[in-house]
Amino acid sequence: MNRPAGKRYLVVCTLRIGDVLLTTPVVRAIRQHDPSARIDVLVLSGMSGILQGNPDIDRILVTPHRAGFLGRMKELAGLWRRYDVALTTVSSDRARLFCFIAGKTAVGPYNPHSAWLSVRLLKQRVLFDDLRTHTVVMGLNVLDLLGIPRQYQVVPPTAGGAIPAVLEGRTYAVLHPYPKFRYKMWPQSHWVALARSLQERGITVALSGSSDPEEMRYVNEIAQACDGLNFCGSLSLAQGADLISGSVLFVGPDTGVTHIAAATGVPTIALFGPSNPVKWGPWPSAYAGNESPWAMKGSRCVGNVSLIQGEGDCVPCREEGCDKHRDSYSRCLDDLSLARVLAAMDRA
């Protein structure tokens, strides 16, 4: 996108797609504060799709997860002092190093346990809160250091707004059954029953997911059991966002696609178990507050998002499931009843 020459910003987010998406309010705030600014965003390889179609970004830079010493040195040399301001919204030594190298001014968060040298890579810094501050608000706390007014809108990706032709003229809901990790899963049988309940109401069911082979197998089993339309593996993130934007309802677990759904403004039901909703609950599309829209414990509806939390005194444990690893089960989600989700669906 061609703009008049202005101040040059680099926004660094070297984590997963959910983190990158929740950085977009920072980018939009910079754009609204300085329309002539040059704003580039640096992300890990495989994460750039979450920013497709974002009108506030001039260029997306991609860095590999791992690189050889010479390759990394060449990359850093190419970034040396290229930007007036380089800022990060994540507390990561890698992100802080990129900011120090790329920016005449480096800004970002640090942890109490961060190494002294890592902290000193930042010219301006704010203490990172991983418990009581929402990820969106944490990013805006970094902007405060620069005197840039806050802006709260999460900007979803888009591939232009088209939806699959088979859905034209239909009223449909999008179900996204498969999270990245097993400990965030809701039982497969419940997804089938939910899909059938929607169909009984005259609503077409569209199933979304990535091209991961295990995910495609899992979603295909649901599609066959309920005769739903299966788009798993056939759409990019941006095309998936357009699919969601045209729906009347989205239901998904604690995953990046659920954050996309919330940002589109579509009624969104988010199923939460072990994760901390204060920090990771989907940001409602019209919400503009400096406190998290979510409490640590309990289900609630805010704006277009209904967050349903599993039950139990241990919830949220903030662990990776009951066995404390990514392939663990989570009793709070296994026991989350279909009736609670159906009630939220009827309200939505």
According to the model, what pLDDT value does residue 2 have? 55
According to the model, what pLDDT value does residue 114 have? 81
For the structural domain made of 8-144, what CATH number should be given? 3.40.50.2000
Residue 27: is it exposed, middle or buried by C-beta count within 10 angstroms (0-12/13-18/19+)?
A: buried
Geometric angle at alpha carbon 283, from 286 and 308, rounded to 5°: 115
8-144 shares its CATH topology with 165-347: yes
Q: What type of residue sits at position 237?
A: L
For the chain, the average pLDDT equals 96
- Cα(248)–Cα(160) distance, integer angstroms: 19
- Cα(61)–Cα(335) distance, integer angstroms: 42
Question: How many CA atoms, within 13 angstroms, populate the side-chain half-sphere of residue 187?
Answer: 13
Which residues 6+ apart lie within 8 Å of 2 measured at CB? none
Average pLDDT over residues 60-81: 93
Q: Which two tokens stand for residue 295?
A: 């409490």
Specify the pTM. 0.95
User: How far is residue 251 from each of residues 22, 124, 170, 348, measured CA to CA in Å?
Assistant: 19, 40, 18, 11
Residue boundaries of the structural domains of the chain: 8-144, 165-347
Q: What is the pLDDT of residues 247-278, one digit of tens each?
A: 999 999 999 999 999 999 999 999 999 999 99
According to the model, what pLDDT value does residue 56 have? 98
Name the superfamily (CATH) of residues 165-347.
Glycogen Phosphorylase B; (3.40.50.2000)
Geometric angle at alpha carbon 206, from 204 and 208, rounded to 5°: 170
